[in-house]
Structure 1
Amino acid sequence: MQTSFLAAAEIFTSSNSPPALLFLLHSSFNTPIITTITMVYAFTLPSTSHLSFQTFLTSSTHPSLPQAATTARHALRQALKAHKRLPRGPQQDAHLQTLLTTVTSYLPYLLALSNGLSSKPGDTSPTEEIEITLRTEIISAWRPTLTNPTTTLSLKQRPTTTRIQGQGLDFEIAFVLSTLSYVLNSLARIGVTRTLYASTTPTPEQRTAAIQTATKHLQQASAVHSLLASSPSFATAAHSICNNNKNGTSTLPDLDPATQAALSCLALAEATLLAVLKDDSYVAACIQARNPNDKDWMVRAPEILKVRAHLFARLCIRAAEYAEQAAAGLGSVRSEGRMGIDDDLLGYTRVLGRVARARACRFFGVDAELSGKIGEGIAWLRAAKGALGVRGAGTAAAETKETNTKSRTGLSRLKQGWMERREERRMEKDAGSRDRMEKGELGPGDNAGREEESRVIEMLETKWVRMNDTINTQLIPPSTDLLANLPSGRDIHSAPAPYKIPSLDEEQLVRMRAPPAEDDFGPGSDVEDSDEEAASVARVYTPGTVPERSDSAYY
């Protein structure tokens, strides 16, 4: 039942019902649904091939710098390969912190090489000048993850993305920075998921701490994308593609400034929605009601605190504006008409904007209900259902269409119902639903939060309609009139400044004046590279590993 335990508990707890009655309610209505409301996109991390900087450049002032940069890059490459081979779930999530450390450790070496090539002094040690001599143009290969692979291959080829070779150090730095932003997004996602969907219901303090940490990661990711979008040196990285690439493209949408600007807006939209989620008692109560391990309902019903509904609604509108701006930017990115952004990411941004607008309508409805205008509140909820694409939204247009269809033939009604179901399935696909999870598992499902929001709206609508039919009997105005007068959005987070790449300290630079040591590693074999390509199609498990999801894991 969509109304679940929460709506019934609010009614019965108002009459001081004993915990035994709440037990019956929980056992009757608690049906775990496989969704979450993370509202953070799950980016796929790229991979790269071996690169030795000693082959392309030398340093007369710091001979060990190229080798030290190669060592740091090798550590990052190995960490990315190890991460892809881990089974999805807690093992991959725990490995993200290792990836963050290796990426942030590699970036200072890239900045030192860039400063040496451009004869610029470093920030931390302006007296330590670095001289770099370029032997040949640096060529590195990375596998893009935002490019739609089906647009670059014929029907006879396997739909997978090969590595793209790019020229110049800026191409390498741009991909490393993109990897950093994807890791930060993943850390934000698992931080919220682990806390909100744990087997034990988190306290308000735990929920606040997890969301604040996730918001910090998203703001850092937005700053990284802002740097890639605004820096002139990275603006040409998308066009620094070698001519011998197999797909024949000359530009890469992953590094396009428009793509990076859109991803920066997307991170701000997600951070804004997380700020609202922190104090959203309705969502927290719905999650608690679906958790089969929760026992707090035996003592007390979920507590619904009064919220600053009008403020939260304007924040959600601003998040919707960010998401719609990101969707427009990603949709405009093309590479000679052949390559575009992956459909999953593009669909996610579009659905996230609709979820944000639906949540704004829900908070406007809460604000109206608190003011005694329950009829207007119901209209807002039906407008929210229409924004989500839920069938039977109850808007004025839908009601008129329902009246007209009564006189139609059975075939016309069947066709209309089929079209509505197809639209709803498309929305669910774009939202990021995963059908492969076990039934009853409270784990990652809907990336955009569409299913969770529709559940909250359905719960409130059922409760308010029942109250309006029995007590208030107010008229329900058309939803279209309310949607036409939505206010402007309001920012809660200021746009972060572009990310500043960390620098090597003076002590590290002094040590690199020594001659380089002999390399103890070489380029990866073709077998290792083929393993990575196979992992993108079908995940391979080795003996001793655990399955993708455990039946008893809640994270």
Structure 2
Amino acid sequence: MTFAFALPTTSPVSFGASFTSSSAPSLPSAATTRRSVFRDSLKRHKRLSPSEQTNAISSIQATIDEYLPYLHTLDAYITSQDVTQIAEFETEWRATLSRRNGPAEPPRVRCKGLDYEISFATATLAYAHSLRARSFIAAALQSPPADSSSTSSSEHMITQATQHMNTAASIFLYLQNRSTTRERSAQSLPADVTTSMYNALWSLSLASATLLAVLKQDPYPSIIAIQYDKTSKEWMYKAPTVPSGVKALLLARLCMYAADMAGKAAAGVASASSSGSELRKYCDDLAKTAKAKACRFLGVDAEVSGKLGEAIGWVVAGKEILGLVVGGDEEKGKLSRGLDKFKKAREERKIEKTQPEGLLAQDAGKMEEAMVLNELEKKWRKINDNVNFDKIKPTASLIAMLPSGRPIFPENQTWTPPKLSSSELVQLQNQAPNDGETDWLRADDSDDDLRPVAESSVQGGFPRSQSTGYY
């Protein structure tokens, strides 16, 4: 439910060569020093294995948090004319969202102006929050909820993941607003820093956060996971409560909201760049998964109410949305070979349990939802064929009955850029600029491209696990 962003890398720059400050003389050089640490951490992170990257994302976030106050303070000083630009400022970043399918590296793009640096560096913080959310989800999957304490721990980790996604959404909203209010030079900008892309990423983050809120109330993925984990003993514990009635309708509306936001994200990515196919496909898949979940919740509510024919129609509708139904009306509900391919791919992508992200995929949870729908349909069809004999409702009429979406998180929550404190500014005012601080920062960084893309690092992956945790 969270996109596996690839963190960008950047070239060395010197703020002192382009800016000078009369009130805080050492601010440009201090910003350069913090940026060099940030840049070095990004390069080191790129060379790590996927499991090591998961464990190191918190340290990456720490270096970003240390650098951004200097960068945004420098920007504020320029606005207030306390900082003077003495030379053209240029910076170079790898546009990871503009990459095409395949192992090829995304392009490096050089642009002029401090706004380009602020956009990429701040967006990297949002990517880091998304990856932190992903690591919390993976941790929640590591162990089955065998008792109340472990269940509470899983819920806490999912709550943490939700908070990180909301923070990412607020950062993307800030960047979106900034891109529309700041005058940009007439230059060709990569899709990564356009208003359309920021709007898409904001929509995608809100969709992910909403589905994480639904995940805490959704017992079915865990129920189905038990059937595919022969070592599980969770059947000995109390069965989870299945949502129905008002709760099921509320969850369905939340899923529809997530589907709408993911659809907007896909459209935004498409308008921003035709080459962002990986991210666009992930948004499309997430929209389908969320809409299929809404169908499932409505089907569960219909089954509890004794409307088994309608319930079967809802799960078939969910599978149609996922593109997993073949045949005419007499064959409605039969899975195509797509699910078998999903399952085969899942086995081929197994990773040792020591790696926190368990199994990786790039389908935004489509396979898991397909498995849940398939199991529910098999169970309900068996009962209906032998006991109820209810007529299965046409899927077209049911899909037309899907409710409107409902947000659960505020959409206007904007991130506030950090600034240096008064005491830190006083310290910078009393320090002389370090004229030689950039000599070692100008070292060649061509080795940035040496590390090949790891086969197990799947762009847009969704964390999976053989355990019977929340998913």
Is 1:457 equivalent to 2:457 in the alignment? no
Whether contact under 8 Å (2:95, 2:109) holds in the other structure is yes
Among 102, 116, 139, the alignment partner of 2:77 is: 116
2:237 is matched with: 300
Equivalent residue number for residue 420 of structure 2? 504
| Cα separation, 1, equivalents of 2:19 and 2:201 | 33
Report Cα offsets for 1:205-257 as digits up to 9, x if no partner: 122211111111111111111111112477655x664xxxxxxxx23111110
Distance 1:505 1:459, change over 3 A: same
Q: Which one of the candidate residues 139, 159, 167 is aligned to 2:112?
A: 167
- For structure 2, the residue ranges without an aligned partner over 5 or more in a row are 457-462
**Matched-pair contact (CA < 8 Å) for 1:388–1:450:** yes
Q: State the Cα distance separating 1:67 from its structure 2 match.
A: 1.1
Q: Does 1:214 align with 2:130?
A: no
1:141–1:358 distance in 2 versus 1, CA, 3 Å: same
User: Which residue number corresponds to residue 437 of structure 1?
Assistant: 349
Q: Do 1:42 and 1:447's aligned partners in 2 also have CA atoms closer than 8 Å?
A: no
Given the alignment, which residue of 402, 426, 442 partners 1:486?
Answer: 402
Tell whether the 8 Å contact from 1:171 to 1:234 is kept in structure 2 after alignment. Answer: no
- Which of the numbers 515, 518, 542 marks the counterpart of 2:432? 515
Whether contact under 8 Å (1:40, 1:447) holds in the other structure is no
Structure 1 residue 363 corresponds to structure 2 residue 325: no
The answer (yes or no) to whether the contact 1:273–1:316 under 8 Å persists in 2 is yes
Q: For residues 467 and 311 of structure 2, what CA distance do their matches in structure 1 show?
A: 38
Is this contact kept in 2: 1:286–1:456, CA < 8 A? Answer: yes
* 8 A Cα contact 2:129 2:168, kept in partner: yes
Q: Which amino acid aligns with 2:36?
A: H
How far is 1:506 from its partner? 0.6
Which stretch of the first structure deviates more once superposed, 200-209 or 356-365? 200-209
Query: When the two structures are superposed, what TM-score results if normalisation uses the length of structure 1?
Result: 0.74
* 2:44 aligned counterpart, secondary structure: helix
Q: 2:202 aligns with which of 260, 264, 270?
A: 264
Structure 2 residue 31 is matched with structure 1 residue 93: no
Question: Can you list the C-alpha shifts for 1:316-366, whole angstroms capped at 9, x where unaligned?
Answer: 1111111111111111124xxxxx342111111011111111110000100
- Alpha-carbon distance in structure 2 between the residues aligned to 1:389 and 1:434: 18
Q: After TM superposition, which residue ranges in structure 1, 4 or more long, deviate above 4 angstroms?
A: 199-202, 232-237, 433-436, 439-442, 536-540, 551-555
- In the alignment, which residue of structure 2 is the partner of 1:123? none
From the superposition, tell whether residues 99 and 434 of structure 1 become closer, same or farther in structure 2 (CA, over 3 Å): farther
Change (3 A) 1:59 1:440: closer
Distance 2:451 2:348 in 1: 18
Tell me what 1:189 maps to.
Answer: 134
* Matched AA of 1:399: D
Assess if the C-alpha contact under 8 Å between 1:219 and 1:271 holds in 2.
yes
Matched, 1:148 2:99: yes
Indicate the residue corresponding to 1:387 in structure 2.
321
Matched-pair contact (CA < 8 Å) for 1:166–1:240:
no
Pairwise mapping of residues 378-417 of structure 1 onto structure 2 (< 5 A)? 378-392=312-326, 398-399=328-329
Contact 1:272 1:315 (C-alpha < 8 Å) held by counterparts: yes
RMSD: 3.1
Q: Tell me what 2:459 maps to.
A: none
Contact 2:111–2:189 (Cα < 8 Å) also in 1: no
Superposed, which structure 2 residues align to 1:264-343 within 5 Å? 264-291=202-229, 294-297=232-235, 299-300=236-237, 302-307=239-244, 308-334=247-273, 340-343=274-277
Q: Is the 8 A contact 1:229 1:235 kept in 2?
A: no
- Alpha-carbon separation, structure 2, partners of 1:539 and 1:51: 32
Q: Which amino acid aligns with 1:82?
A: R
3-state SS of the aligned residue for 1:263? helix
Q: 63, 68, 81: which is aligned to 1:107?
A: 68
Aligned partner letter, 1:522: W
**Which residue in the other structure is 1:351 paired with?**
285
Structure (1 or 2) with the larger CA radius of gyration: 1
1:444 Cα deviation after fit: 2.5
Q: 1:292 to 1:46 in 2, by over 3 A?
A: farther
Work out whether 1:53 is the aligned partner of 2:15: yes
Q: Is the deviation greater in 162-171 or in 517-526?
A: 517-526
- The number of residues matched between the two structures is 449
Change (3 A) 1:287 1:226: same
| Partner amino acid, structure 2, of 1:346 | R
Q: How far apart, in 2, do the equivalents of 1:160 and 1:382 lie?
A: 40
Say whether 1:137 aligns with 2:88: yes
Q: CA–CA distance in 1 between the matches of 2:72 and 2:438?
A: 24
* C-alpha contact (below 8 Å) 2:229/2:466 kept by paired residues: no
Cα contact 1:50–1:74 (8 A) shared by 2: yes
Question: Distance in 1 between the 2:324 and 2:466 partners?
Answer: 31
- Structure 1 spans left out of the alignment, 5+ residues: 1-38, 121-130, 152-157, 242-249, 335-339, 403-416, 541-548
TM-score by length of 2: 0.87
Moved more, 281-290 or 60-69: 281-290
- Pick closer, same or farther for the CA change 1:520–1:66 going to 2, 3 Å: closer
Distance 1:539 1:501 in 2: 36
Between 191-200 and 271-280, report the one with greater CA deviation.
Answer: 191-200
